[in-house]
Amino acid sequence: MRLSTKGRYAVTAMLDLALNGTEGPVTLADISENQGISLSYLEQLFAALRSKGLVRGVRGPGGGYYLGREADEISIADIICAVDEWVEFTRCKGRQNCQDGQRCLTHSLWDDLSQQIFIFLSDITLQDLVQRGEKREAERLEKKAATAAVSKVVGLKGRAA
Amino acid sequence: MRLSTKGRYAVTAMLDLALNGTEGPVTLADISENQGISLSYLEQLFAALRSKGLVRGVRGPGGGYYLGREADEISIADIICAVDEWVEFTRCKGRQNCQDGQRCLTHSLWDDLSQQIFIFLSDITLQDLVQRGEKREAERLEKKAATAAVSKVVGLKGRAA
DNA sequence: TAGTATCCGAGCAAATTACTGGGTAATTGC
DNA sequence: GCAATTACCCAGTAATTTGCTCGGATACTA
């Protein structure tokens, strides 16, 4: 799992789509204008998103992009995975002492952590973000609840400080 | 919050330190060997970690690195923040329509998300990962022992007619 | 047929990643 | 003191990624 600016661009663009695409498709030119991302870079991102079925393009005048699925069926993890491909962190493949021994322990631990972050981001949908935008008053409470829920799901209790 | 390979390297190295540094300091050469990271790159990472007080270096023969604090006082977020500086996603700073309007809504939403991930990673300490590793190791040994015991009982031979 | 917009791909500047190689400073054992 | 060891430091640099410019082709609307 990676969290880079590329992924942020994609999430931001998809969020723009979810917010403004309620009636009719949204053009990349609009998103480019709104979010300050170059059109060609958006095209690249949306090519990846399209190949994963996360968006649906409509050509011609009046065209643009729709979400490929309902907003509550698209998770942040879906988006990030579509544009930021998953790099395996298995440098030790084939190295000695790295089969089942202590050497590789840290690697598998990181993989676990990565997996948990993935689960975390899989539980947040575009719809969640839209709703968060709609009601900002309960923001802090919601955040707290979300974090608690995640801890519960993930099962990794933190230090009780 | 960013999640890059650089951060992974740092977390993995710190985990190595937590695992192998129980008696005496650990040299970067060892970590380099264990984790397959170049020595000089480790030096760069550890310079950043040291400046944040996450590790403590000891020079001379028999020297190396200690954790700067107890393992349960070092979070994954601490480590990642030390090496992967926090890039603000505020491209829109100064752009029109981006003060408090709809245009900037997606940005603040992402900031919220980023914050949640930060909180999530702040709640996971090195100690948590070590314990997870121990548990995993224990399960593995247990499984092996159980398998061995079963083999002994069953005999592991003969046609299971 | 003209205009709009997605699609597509080559190329490129800037930044980041990860490394090489040159050292210096502190500490240890002889 | 002397040599070995290790952290520490810094300049350079190849490889990769990021984000963009440019020039098109294809599909659709009017």
Predicted pLDDT of residue B3:
86
Mean pLDDT (chain A) is 79
Predicted pLDDT of residue A18:
93
CB of A130 within 8 A of CB of A15? yes
CB of A86 within 8 A of CB of A77? no
What does the pLDDT average to over B112-123? 88
Q: Determine if strand D comes within 7 Å of the CB of A84.
A: yes
Residues on chain B touching A91 (C-beta within 8 angstroms)? 35-36
Q: Determine if strand D comes within 7 Å of the CB of B50.
A: yes
Distance from the B43 Cα atom to the nearest Cα atom in chain A, whole angstroms: 19
The CA R_g of chain B, rounded to the nearest whole Å, is 23
Predicted pLDDT of residue B160:
34
Size of interface A-B (CB pairs under 8 A): 125
Predicted pLDDT of residue A140:
44
How far apart (Å, rounded) are the C-alpha atoms in residues A152 and A142?
15
CB of B72 within 8 A of CB of B127? yes
Predicted pLDDT of residue A102:
55
Q: Write phi, then psi, for B57 (nearest 5 degrees).
A: -95, 145
Residue B158 has pLDDT above 60, yes or no: no
Residue B8 Rama label (left phi>0; alpha psi -120 to 50; beta)? alpha
Q: Write phi, then psi, for B67 (nearest 5 degrees).
A: -65, 145
Tokens 């829109």 -> residue = B92
**B107–A12: do the CB atoms touch at under 8 Å?**
yes
pTM exceeds cut of 0.85: no
Three-state SS for B125? Answer: strand
Predicted pLDDT of residue B150:
57
Residues A64 and A133 both lie in one domain: yes
pLDDT greater at residue B89 or residue B110: B110
Residue B28 Rama label (left phi>0; alpha psi -120 to 50; beta)? alpha
Residues A9 and A67 both lie in one domain: yes
Least confident of A94-108, B21-35, B39-53: A94-108
Question: Which residue in chain A has the smallest CA separation from B14?
Answer: A106
Residue B62 Rama label (left phi>0; alpha psi -120 to 50; beta)? left
Residue B153 has pLDDT above 80, yes or no: no
What does the pLDDT average to over B79-107? 63
pLDDT in tens, A68-115: 999 999 999 999 999 987 765 555 544 445 544 555 677 788 888 888
**B124–A34: do the CB atoms touch at under 8 Å?**
no
Residues B120 and B98 both lie in one domain: yes
Q: Which two tokens stand for residue A24?
A: 């009719």
Residues B25 and B92 both lie in one domain: no
Residues B94 and B72 both lie in one domain: no
Residues A60 and A119 both lie in one domain: no
Residues B63 and B46 both lie in one domain: yes
Q: Which of residues 103-142 of A touch strand D (CB under 7 A)?
A: none
How far apart (Å, rounded) are the C-alpha atoms in residues B128 and B47?
24
Chain centroid to Cα B51, Å, comes to 17
Number of structural domains in chain A: 2
Domain span holding position B101: 88-124
Q: Which two tokens stand for residue A69?
A: 């699925």
How far apart (Å, rounded) are the C-alpha atoms in residues A126 and B86?
24
Predicted pLDDT of residue B107:
73
Residues A13 and A81 both lie in one domain: yes
CA end-to-end distance (rounded Å), chain A:
28
Residues A50 and A93 both lie in one domain: no
Q: Determine if strand D comes within 7 Å of the CB of A88.
A: no
Distance from the B80 Cα atom to the nearest Cα atom in chain A, whole angstroms: 12
Distance from the A136 Cα atom to the nearest Cα atom in chain B, whole angstroms: 10
Residues B99 and B151 both lie in one domain: no
Q: Which two tokens stand for residue B15?
A: 């985990």
Q: Which two tokens stand for residue A25?
A: 């498709």
Residues A108 and A63 both lie in one domain: no
Three-state SS for B64? Answer: strand
Q: Which residue of A3, A15, A98, A137 is the best one to mutate when testing the B interface, meaning the one whose CB has the most B CBs within 10 A?
A: A3
Q: Determine if strand D comes within 7 Å of the CB of A94.
A: no
How far apart (Å, rounded) are the C-alpha atoms in residues A11 and A35?
11
Q: Write phi, then psi, for B104 (nearest 5 degrees).
A: -95, 0
Residues A132 and A143 both lie in one domain: yes
CB of B116 within 8 A of CB of A143? yes
Amino acid B90 CA to nucleotide C3 C1' distance, rounded Å: 35
Q: Which residue of A1, A6, A8 is the best one to mutate when testing the B interface, meaning the one whose CB has the most B CBs within 10 A?
A: A8
- Can you give the CATH number for the domain in which A23 is found? 1.10.10.10
